[in-house]
Chains A and B, each alone.
Chain A
Amino acid sequence: GAGVSQSPSNKVTEKGKDVELRCDPISGHTALYWYRQSLGQGLEFLIYFQGNSAPDKSGLPSDRFSAERTGGSVSTLTIQRTQQEDSAVYLCASSLGGTHYYEQYFGPGTRLTVT
């Protein structure tokens, strides 16, 4: 597709359930990022994938959060045993990486509501 896509656009889940959020980056982009944006907060970095290198997981808030990127393309962010404080908009971005790492193209986000 022409841009970064994410699914679902909205997800409501009960506390304690697991959720999976999907991101399809722009074709050819080697770098992929996950962020979350809570109400009234700035974007919070979660995890970064660059090519075949080991991902930078330094932003993941707890071990309930994990992400994988299969075949250097699609990425899935998984949140296990969701808590109410996980409610946020989860944004995915991709970039060409290398010297163009900064020009990130964001997807429309997934709004997660944990009840």
Chain B
Amino acid sequence: EDKVVQSPLSLVVHEGDTVTLNCSYEVTNFRSLLWYKQEKKAPTFLFMLTSSGIEKKSGRLSSILDKKELFSILNITATQTGDSAIYLCAVDGNKLVFGAGTILRVKS
């Protein structure tokens, strides 16, 4: 059965800290790994990763995929209170499977 596991489940940091969120997976017919940020109810798309070792970057956020070890990390540098959210990892195999998410809280 396809599985996506995220860690940590929750994290509290202070503004300016750097955080690393983890996503490991077991899926058949891997196509891509996706990161979303969920505030309130609706997730918003962050990154899609398909190839190992190629970093995707958007502002203070970056992500990389390791297809050999079956995991991805999402880094956020110089965190701000607006980064507080649930970060969801999803893997597209035979269907899209989401992890339970990491709850990030950034304190001012």
**What is A's interface to B at a CB cutoff of 8 Å?**
33, 35, 40-45, 48, 56, 58-59, 89, 91, 102-109, 111
Contact = CB atoms under 8 A, between A and B. Distances in A.
A44 B98 contact: yes
Interface string B20-44: 0000000000001010000011111
A83 to B, nearest CB: 22
B43 A108 contact: no
B74 interface: no
A41 B100 contact: yes
Interface in B53-108: 88, 90, 92, 94-101
B44 A43 contact: no
A40 B100 contact: yes
22 contacts: A33-B96, A40-B100, A41-B100, A42-B6, A42-B88, A42-B98, A42-B101, A43-B90, A43-B98, A44-B98, A45-B95, A48-B95, A56-B95, A59-B95, A91-B41, A91-B42, A91-B43, A102-B45, A103-B48, A107-B42, A108-B42, A109-B42
Contacts of B13: none
Interface of B: 4, 6, 32, 34, 40-45, 48, 88, 90, 92, 94-101
Contacts of B43: 43, 91, 106
Which of B42, B92, B100 gathers the greatest number of chain A CB atoms within 10 Å?
Answer: B42
A108 B90 CA distance: 19
A102 B40 CA distance: 21
A41 B88 CA distance: 11
Contacts of B97: 45
